Structure 1
Amino acid sequence: MKQKINWPVTIAAGVAGGIIGGLVKLGWENILPPRTPERDQTNPPQKLLQQLGIPAKITHSTYTYSGHQLPWVSYLVHFGFSTGFGVTYSLAGQLLPWLKFGHGVPFGIAVWNAFHVELMPALGTVPAAKDQPLEEHISEILGHAVWMWTIDEIIRGINSEN
């Protein structure tokens, strides 16, 4: 017998998982920075937006908190991406339960491969995978695994309560 899907809860779980997962990924990148300081002067979200025609004065806009200049546009893209994948994973996991195998870790690694190895290099947003430093691959693979594991755990927790 098929279980009825509570769509509002499923979407809300994905949003919550995406936000919390996005925070975890930011924290991860503070411990294991994926890029050199030179390559981070214009980070991938900023470069992608510039490739789409958005001027650098917007993509590099910041706000100040506690004396730090923080890139709000990059954060908008970061959390939009994370929340979008959180909702996608939450919905898709209801329809295709096999996607939740390994608590989302294989799914997270697949997202890393799709974006950091295939799509962004093809667009010229980041160097080809073979030209990226090993440290970048290590940070991004592990970061995407922990990111999606976090999203999976939040979704499971919310769904178990409903």
Structure 2
Amino acid sequence: MSITLLETTPKQNRHYFIALVIGVITGIISAFVKSGTEDILPPRTPDRIAPPVQMLTDMGIDWHSLVYSYSDQLVYWGGNFVHIVFSIAATVFYCVVAEVFPRITMLQGIVFGVLFAIVCHGVMLPILGLSPAVIHLPADEIISEILGTCLWIWSVELLRIALRAKMTKI
């Protein structure tokens, strides 16, 4: 039996709309998983601005004005909003691609998670000027981002499996 990375599912077993809905749901939930990971293992030193916040600043948006009060504390939601939107976009991509190419879910999504962390934090963020080049990142940041991204995608995959089974009545 040969296993190929580009093996596809039968067309009649693909549920794109369901994958889209699951992507939105899991994108929101998993963003909280990623955020929680960053609270426990801060990915950057206090002197560096988080990439989503830097992106808002670069766009001319005053992230200090994006604030609400909860439990007598000010919460600056701008960076988290960007993170949630990015998470939704990434999980919709993941869930839709999984409908066609099931190998994207290898090791319950962990392979995708590692590759995604490398592409985002090692390539895209430095290109966009939102983060230093990976060779200039501290080990703490690399560990936090890879572990956080793996937990993020693992939560996506576990939810995707359960929600897809319920929504397609498999």
> Same fold by TM (over 0.5)?
yes
2:26 pairs with 1:47: no
Deviations 1:86-140 (A, max 9, x none): 1110000111111111111111111111111111112221111111111000000
TM-aligned CA distance change 1:34 to 1:58, over 3 Å: closer
Q: 1:21 aligns with which of 30, 33, 42?
A: 30
TM-score, normalising length: structure 1: 0.90
Rounded to whole Å, the distance in 2 between the matches of 1:148 and 1:35 is 21
Q: More deviation in 108-117 or 134-143?
A: 108-117
User: What percentage of aligned pairs have identical amino acids?
Assistant: 32
Rounded to whole Å, the distance in 2 between the matches of 1:148 and 1:139 is 14
Whether contact under 8 Å (1:49, 1:59) holds in the other structure is: no
Which protein is richer in helix relative to its size? 1
1:49 deviation in Å?
Answer: 2.6
Aligned counterparts, 1:4-83, within 5 A? 4-39=13-48, 42-51=49-58, 53-55=59-61, 57-58=62-63, 61-83=66-88
Which blocks of at least 5 consecutive residues in structure 1 are unaligned? Answer: none
Query: Which stretches of structure 1, 4 residues or longer, exceed 3 Å deviation after superposition?
Result: none
2:100 pairs with 1:95: yes
Rounded to whole Å, the distance in 1 between the matches of 2:53 and 2:126 is 15
What is the total number of aligned residue pairs between the two structures? 158
Q: 1:134 aligns with which of 133, 139, 161?
A: 139
Across the aligned residues of Structure 1 and Structure 2, the Cα RMSD in angstroms comes to 1.6
TM-score, normalising length: structure 2: 0.86
